[in-house]
Chain A
Amino acid sequence: MSARDTILATIRRSLKAEGDEAGRRQAVEARLAAPPSGIVPKRGQLPHEEQVALFAEMATAVDATVERVAGPGQVTQALSRFLRERNLPQAVVRGTDPYLAGLDWESVPHLRTKTGIADGSEEVGLSHAFAGVAESGTAVLLSGPENPTTVNFLPETHVIVVEARDIVGDYEAMWSRLRDRFGRGTMPRTVNMVTGPSRSADIEQTLLLGAHGPRRLHLIVVDTP
């Protein structure tokens, strides 16, 4: 018998599951077909404008910085200003994401952009979030042809553009958006939920920012005019 068969047979024997095969299968299928949502904290159950405010508040509490801009037309200038204030080079690496590609790059001619994956030589990565989750200030990033995962982790500074209309109250609401886009049971290769910049407390429980991932996380929240 293969290891697989042995393990599954032992599980069934231990559970004394032999009798009720149909009932058990039905219970599993039912849960997968209509997942019960469980307990959703009240914290995020707010009017949308307050969800956006909560998202910023929670992200700030975990050491991210947040700037809100009035429309897509202001993003690149906000980005350039952020880099200048932090003494960072005017250069970012990003994927070919159409939203990012459509931003007003001409207004910031000094800002160099590299399109594609990050290889560790870049100082700043720029991503476009699929969603923001208010309850914990979490940005959700999806991998795909236009969104390389390396951009999220290799550069020391990570800037994420979050459209205010993509901010939801809770994880459950985020998953239902994802299902709407990809279909039930289907996922992109990688979904990154990012809550603050990387950190470690492995030496004497002293919390330090900037472990292997980005040392700085800056969120630009963009209103849709």
Chain B
Amino acid sequence: MVEITSPRFKANAREALADKDLQRALTKVPSGFIAKRAKAREKLPEFDALRDRARDIKNHTLAHLDLYLERFEAKVKENGGHVHWAADAAEAREIVLKICRDLDARTVTKGKTMISEEIGLNDYLEEQGIEPVETDLGEYIIQLRKEHPSHIIAPAIHVNRDQVEADFRRVHGHLPQDRDLTAPETLLGEARGILRDRFLKADVGITGANFLVAETGTSIIVTNEGNGDLTQTLPKAHVVLASIEKITPTLQDVSQNLRVLARSATGQDMSVYTTFSTGPRRADDPDGPGEYHVVLLDNGRSSMLGSEFEEMLRCIRCGACMNHCPVYHTVGGHAYGWVYPGPMGAVLTPSLIGVDKAGHLPNASTFCGRCEEVCPMRIPLPKMMRHWREREFERHLQPATQRWGIKGWAFFARRPALYRAASGIAMRLLGAMGRKRGRFASLPLAGGWTSHRDFPSPQGKTFQQQWAERKR
């Protein structure tokens, strides 16, 4: 199970800032992703209209989610596949284990799936004596490092090349120690060679799903490496892990969403492999998996419908929000303390594990609004972070000083005349006290500010006084 460290966000962030390797790796986040997305958007004049369309499709789907899920299930069955419903993580793990046990599976290859992270599948399978092998290069690297993804589409973005080299030398001990691994190409080649063998010998292949299509009973994966395809094609069974909101009505609707997915994620027009899977191998097919299973995970999502967090269920996991987030750029993904980092994680995590554990995350925002600006599904992330702050306040989850501070401020803010008078007095007082040095090295109740920098002493009149005078 992924250990939840979201309650320690502040300490995590401090550690992240002091971690030189991490800071070195994070410099590459804004430089790559942002420019690539901007260029892809520029090349497609219809891009923003497609975002509106993608939003509308998902809203329609969510409003009829039960019916589309039923249709999807019926179509999967019609094609000889199985659909398993899991209300929570434990049920999902049990379902996967049973499929593996029924096939006497010993190794399981895995394409990239965030649902697997959400349900803590790898540790669970290992405990049960089944070996999970991550095959996406980034996922493989972090599996070797016994870490978790720090980004939803670039899981090893926090790792530097020299660290990967050290891990490969440590784990691939059977290869000559004097081999040259200085170029990323050689690292990729080595991973390809090692994993090729695992693909061919695996008993079960597990992938995620970018979309599920109700019209046809199809699951879709979008990848660049081809690992997902080898994972699902070669073993005896293909298991798809998907959360319930992945449903899309038709192939037409999926085409609309595909046009915004890769552009928002990596700046590609299309990812290299977009693969549509419908049922197990057919009677006359020469290859393909003998069994096809879809595990539909709820894990709290059905309760988000109809709430102020419903719009979060439109998310297609492109990662654009974190790619553009100044907080993510500074602390990386692990500081968020669970599976989903960045702005989408700051909204989704409290929904899935509780605001009592993840209340810090919606506070870790500058409210600059870039996440909403770039979201292909037009999810109002800042607005929803504010909702979480309100809930946190209502449930008395913040420290007493903060609550009293806010209450005190609210008292004055509701009484403008009193506010102006009080702030005028306070500023004059502070100005008089600080006249000599021009700044304060410490101030009561302002330690959060003064522990890192001086507080300048106020000079002249308050903003409101100046504004009033200018208007005259």
Q: Could you list which residues of chain A lie within 8 angstroms of chain B, going by C-beta atoms?
A: 2-4, 6-8, 10-12, 14-17, 24-25, 27-28, 31-32, 35-39, 41-43, 58, 62, 95, 116-117, 119-120, 135-136, 138, 143-145, 148-150, 152-154, 170-172, 175, 178, 184-206, 208, 210-214
* B286 at the A interface (CB under 8 A): yes
**Size of B's binding interface in residues, CB under 8 A:** 102
**Within residues 250 to 306 of chain B, which ones have a CB less than 8 A from any CB in chain A?**
250-253, 255-256, 258-259, 266, 268-282, 284-288, 296, 298, 302-306
- Considering the complex, give the chain A residue whose CB is closest to the CB of B292: A189
Give bound CA distance, A152 to B286, whole Å.
13
Measured in the bound complex, the distance between the Cα atoms of B372 and A9 in whole Å is: 31
Chain A residues positioned under 8 Å from B269 (CB to CB):
58, 62, 135-136, 195
Which residues in B have some Cβ–Cβ distance to A below 8 Å?
A: 25, 28, 32-33, 44-46, 49-50, 53, 57, 60, 63-71, 75, 79, 85-87, 91, 135-138, 141, 154-157, 159-161, 164, 184-185, 187-189, 192, 195-196, 199-200, 214-218, 224-227, 229-230, 233-234, 244, 249-253, 255-256, 258-259, 266, 268-282, 284-288, 296, 298, 302-307
Minimum C-beta distance from B109 to chain A (A): 10
Q: CA of A213 to CA of B286 in the docked complex: distance in angstroms?
A: 19
Number of A-B residue pairs at CB separation under 8 A:
263
- Residues on the A chain within 8 Å of B229, using CB: 149, 152-153, 192, 213
Q: Given A4-B85, A14-B303, A192-B273, A187–B288 Cβ distance below 8 Å?
A: no
Known contacts being A189-B282, A211-B225, A212-B226, is A150 close to B234, with CB within 8 Å? yes
Minimal Cβ-Cβ distance residue in B for A150: B287
Q: How far is the CB of B235 from chain A (nearest CB, A)?
A: 12
* B285 A195 Cβ-Cβ under 8 A: no
Residues of A near B138 (CB, < 8 A) are 200, 202
Give 20 A-B contacts (CB < 8 Å), ordered by A residue: A8-B69, A8-B70, A15-B65, A28-B64, A41-B50, A42-B46, A58-B269, A62-B272, A144-B282, A149-B288, A153-B230, A171-B255, A187-B218, A188-B278, A190-B278, A211-B188, A211-B227, A212-B192, A212-B199, A212-B227
Contact B274 A3 (CB under 8 A): no
Further 17 A-B residue pairs, CB within 8 A, beyond A62-B269, A190-B288: A14-B303, A15-B66, A15-B306, A17-B66, A28-B249, A32-B71, A58-B269, A153-B229, A186-B216, A187-B218, A189-B279, A190-B278, A191-B275, A195-B268, A199-B272, A203-B137, A212-B225
A200-B137, A204-B184, A208-B184 known; A187-B286 Cβ under 8 A: no
